[in-house]
Structure 1
Amino acid sequence: MAVADAVAAGADRASDSDSVPVEIPPIVSVDDHVIEPPHVWESRLPARYRDIGPRVVTAPGEITYEGGVLSWTEGTGRPTAWWYYEDLHYPMVRTHSAVAFPREELQMVGITFEEMQPGAWQVAPRLADMDIGHVEASLCFPSFPRFCGQAFAEAGDKELALLCVQVYNDWMVEEWCGPSGGRLIPLCLIPLWDVDLAAAEVRRNAERGVRAVCFSEIPPNLGLPSIHSGYWDRFFAACEETATVVCMHIGSSSKMVSTSPDAPGAVGSALVHSNATYSLVDFLMSGVFVQFPGLKVAYSEGQMGWLPYILDRVDVVWKENAAWGGVADKVPEPPSTYFRDHVFVCFFDDKVGLANIDAIGLETITTETDYPHSDSTWPHSKELLGAQMAHLTQPEVDAICRDNAIRMLGLELPTAAELRG
């Protein structure tokens, strides 16, 4: 179905007044977050690294956020939990555990572990909060290392940095996900600074059942090679070989889109889809999906309402600019044709996207709750999804809220239909 035809079909369905109320199945959320407990690295690193490895110190701090950039000073302000690592002092901010506060108190200020929602960093309270929020299973991105482990890539001592990546992954598998009975889904890091070490870490974790890995949506923003360079091919090959999904959270390039250095935070928040948009165009135009036909990638927190236009636009550019665009030899078919076989997207509040699922592709859409961040729909995710999905059929709702994520991550969970018997 052409994109324009699919958009029209979605609009017709959205206006159908005879829709039957749907049931929201227990959600599989593919984008939530964990705040690492203070002991993670101190308890696992060799003793010689305990004084320079990641550790938590509570001290006063002041936080600002403008132009898409988080800044801080230490020594004055409110008590704040700081992660110390080499020369880095990184503060935990109230938005890291936003669900612990009313919306009107959700300022960019420091936070201590005692003030956080217990489910943000402890397994048993997290599972209890998942029950409250109608979530059966959850994939959690990191906090202190940042969304793809940038903190370790920026470190001076790469031997220590590699150990920190491995410690995080061991903790993720053994302590965070291990006691959860399969409800917390492991999402691991790679050493971004070395593609061969990255491929080895993918394989090490795949051997113990991990099927998701963090990656940067725009690596050059981190001073790393682009996906057009061929540098990442051995990493992509390892992911394809092990059926590991490459998960890219907005902000995993450490650069959020804004219009000016003095733009308020709301400007950047309205533009959060932009990094996902840039990254998807990169992948569709790179030939990576041609070279690695089994590779799967997933975009987190970028919503999806922008997709019908961009999928149409890449095809127009591919066709009209074939003589000089630089992709005709690498991408033999219209770029949008690779999307549904290789890409997953997710949303938590996107009426426009849900009105255009035919143009996007039902099989690509998954759900997130973004717990415990400021955009989180917890504890009202079920009610919000029910209101936004009233025009969809029950099989469509089942796919978006649960079944697509099970297929994406290879989870051993029953489908929505199987749950209902």
Structure 2
Amino acid sequence: MEDLPKIISVDDHVIEPPNVWQDRLPQKYKEVGPHIERHPVKSMTFIGGKFAYEMGEEGEGPLADWWVFEDKAIPHTRLAAAVGVPREQVTVTPITYEDMRPGCYDQKARLEDMDLNWTEAQMCFPTMPRFCGQTFTEMNDRELGLLCVQAYNDWMVDEWCAGTNGRLIPLMIIPLWDAELAAAEVRRMAARGVTATCFSEIPPFLGLPSIHSGYWDPFFAACDETGVVVNMHIGSSSKMPSTSEDAPPAVGSTMTFTNCMMSMVDFLMSGVLPKFPNLRLAYAEGQLGWIPYILERADKVWEANRGWGGVGDLVPNPPSTYYAQQIYACFFDDQHGLTPDALDKIGVNNILFETDYPHSDSTWPHTKETAWKLMGHLPPATIRRLVRGNAIDLYRLDLAV
């Protein structure tokens, strides 16, 4: 096997260590702010696209480490810390920190696991705050919620990514309940060198205004101004696709790309992209193969239905124009999306690579082999763009192309 260029992964995850908020919140908020407690789990299920759990009394179930804050509690689960565990043992099971591979939450161990996986750099989405920080929108105390967002972002820069020579790439969260506060946080963290933020793929699923409403314009304007990339992970709307309340998880896992697809069409038809031409979007874990058709369909709808489709004044050019200029797709295992015809339509410069460590879909520790299986037929220059070059350009990384 030839040497693959070292991987830069734009979709991985960090399980926050217990000290993140306790070290940073004011004294009056330490008790009510996020902290770890160990309790039994009475029940834990993932059915119909919904994750549900119940804390038990002593002896009522297996132990888990729980994030406890205000009147809420969130348990750790094996699905979020699956690396190093045989696939058949990756189940909807509560766990403690001792049950996790240390690379899930420890910086030094993470870098060692990256070395094992031919990975030079990673950008990590949050776990306890969920994929775009929506956990903190559910807090009763908005002041505490904002402090928790800021504490996470400061920890991301000052601890998780610090001292790694750019190998760990900071990714901020925002206070989703207030677009002006979100814009201020983007500017605060951009001044600290952060070039990426999380956002919800479909905000109305979180009870928030849609991107069509204009509500988010201050946030988009801040990203447009600072060059901060908007990253949307599948599930960042807290609603995974499913066909029924009793559908097994495999149904939703097969269809996860549909959230990305709906979100992308939203943006293509919203007028947001022409309004903010420096805005860049990246869809994490959405894969690639569906993109050629949806671009074809969007352009046909734009052309045929401009009189009544509600986009005539908002979208002056075919939607695919804005995709090519402003949208990036991320993949970890998609053969169809890398066929010559599909790749031509998706765009070699619009694709990013990921390893999804430490989730159950992760290709760790065999990502190099997976990458060669998927991309070995491509020219070396194309492979380099997909596995690292596009990420370096998009996120303005201080790493060799």
Shorter-chain TM range is over 0.9
Check conservation: 1:211, 1:245, Cα contact below 8 A. Answer: yes
**Residue matched to 2:217:** 233
Deviation by residue 1:49-97 (Cα, 9 ceiling, x = unmatched): 1111001111111311000000111112211111101111111100111
Q: CA deviation at 1:22?
A: 5.7
1:394 equivalenced with 2:375 (yes/no): no
**Residue matched to 1:261:** 245
Looking at structure 2, the residues matched to 411 and 390 of structure 1 have their Cα atoms a distance apart, in angstroms, of 25
Q: CA deviation at 1:340?
A: 1.3
Looking at structure 2, the residues matched to 111 and 130 of structure 1 have their Cα atoms a distance apart, in angstroms, of 23
**Residue matched to 1:16:** none
Q: Which runs of 5+ in 1 are unaligned?
A: 1-20, 416-421
Q: CA deviation at 1:154?
A: 1.1
Deviation by residue 1:203-246 (Cα, 9 ceiling, x = unmatched): 00000100000000000011111110111111001001111000
Check conservation: 1:23, 1:386, Cα contact below 8 A. Answer: no
Mapping 1:294-305, distance limit 5 Å: 294-305=278-289
2:31 alignment partner, SS class: coil
Q: Which runs of 5+ in 2 are unaligned?
A: none
1:39 equivalenced with 2:19 (yes/no): yes
**Residue matched to 1:5:** none
1:190 equivalenced with 2:171 (yes/no): no
Check conservation: 1:246, 1:298, Cα contact below 8 A. Answer: yes
1:223 equivalenced with 2:189 (yes/no): no
Mapping 1:8-157, distance limit 5 Å: 23-61=3-41, 62-75=43-56, 76-157=60-141
Mapping 1:206-221, distance limit 5 Å: 206-221=190-205
Q: CA deviation at 1:100?
A: 3.0
Aligned partner of 2:362: which letter?
A: S
Check conservation: 1:406, 1:412, Cα contact below 8 A. Answer: yes
1:361 equivalenced with 2:347 (yes/no): yes
Looking at structure 2, the residues matched to 360 and 181 of structure 1 have their Cα atoms a distance apart, in angstroms, of 32
Looking at structure 1, the residues matched to 2 and 177 of structure 2 have their Cα atoms a distance apart, in angstroms, of 47
Looking at structure 1, the residues matched to 318 and 2 of structure 2 have their Cα atoms a distance apart, in angstroms, of 35
Deviation by residue 1:129-152 (Cα, 9 ceiling, x = unmatched): 000001000000000000001110
**Residue matched to 1:385:** 371
Looking at structure 2, the residues matched to 88 and 143 of structure 1 have their Cα atoms a distance apart, in angstroms, of 15
**Residue matched to 1:6:** none
Looking at structure 2, the residues matched to 97 and 116 of structure 1 have their Cα atoms a distance apart, in angstroms, of 6
Looking at structure 1, the residues matched to 365 and 280 of structure 2 have their Cα atoms a distance apart, in angstroms, of 30
Aligned partner of 2:63: which letter?
A: P
2:64 alignment partner, SS class: strand
Check conservation: 1:22, 1:390, Cα contact below 8 A. Answer: no
Q: CA deviation at 1:23?
A: 3.8
Looking at structure 2, the residues matched to 382 and 328 of structure 1 have their Cα atoms a distance apart, in angstroms, of 45
Looking at structure 2, the residues matched to 181 and 412 of structure 1 have their Cα atoms a distance apart, in angstroms, of 9
1:312 equivalenced with 2:289 (yes/no): no
Distance verdict in 2 for CA 1:22–1:344, change over 3 Å: farther
Q: CA deviation at 1:179?
A: 2.4
Aligned partner of 2:199: which letter?
A: F
Aligned partner of 2:51: which letter?
A: L
Distance verdict in 2 for CA 1:309–1:22, change over 3 Å: farther
Looking at structure 1, the residues matched to 306 and 165 of structure 2 have their Cα atoms a distance apart, in angstroms, of 51
**Residue matched to 1:17:** none
Taking structure 2 as the reference length, what is the TM-score of the superposition? 0.97
**Residue matched to 1:409:** 395
1:179 alignment partner, SS class: coil
Q: CA deviation at 1:43?
A: 1.2
Looking at structure 1, the residues matched to 302 and 69 of structure 2 have their Cα atoms a distance apart, in angstroms, of 45
Taking structure 1 as the reference length, what is the TM-score of the superposition? 0.93
| Of 224, 227, 231, the match for 1:247 | 231
Indicate the percent of aligned positions where both proteins have the same amino acid.
57
How large is the RMSD of aligned CA atoms in angstroms? 0.8
Distance verdict in 2 for CA 1:22–1:392, change over 3 Å: farther
Looking at structure 2, the residues matched to 326 and 131 of structure 1 have their Cα atoms a distance apart, in angstroms, of 50
Check conservation: 1:318, 1:325, Cα contact below 8 A. Answer: yes
2:149 alignment partner, SS class: helix
2:349 alignment partner, SS class: helix
**Residue matched to 1:4:** none
Looking at structure 2, the residues matched to 58 and 88 of structure 1 have their Cα atoms a distance apart, in angstroms, of 14
> Following superposition, which runs of at least 4 residues in structure 1 exceed 4 angstroms of deviation?
none
Looking at structure 2, the residues matched to 210 and 348 of structure 1 have their Cα atoms a distance apart, in angstroms, of 24
Count of aligned pairs between the two proteins? 395
Distance verdict in 2 for CA 1:100–1:60, change over 3 Å: farther
Deviation by residue 1:335-383 (Cα, 9 ceiling, x = unmatched): 0111111011110000011112101000000100000000000000000
Aligned partner of 1:111: which letter?
A: I
Looking at structure 2, the residues matched to 292 and 118 of structure 1 have their Cα atoms a distance apart, in angstroms, of 41
Aligned partner of 1:361: which letter?
A: G
Check conservation: 1:364, 1:404, Cα contact below 8 A. Answer: yes
Looking at structure 2, the residues matched to 219 and 374 of structure 1 have their Cα atoms a distance apart, in angstroms, of 26
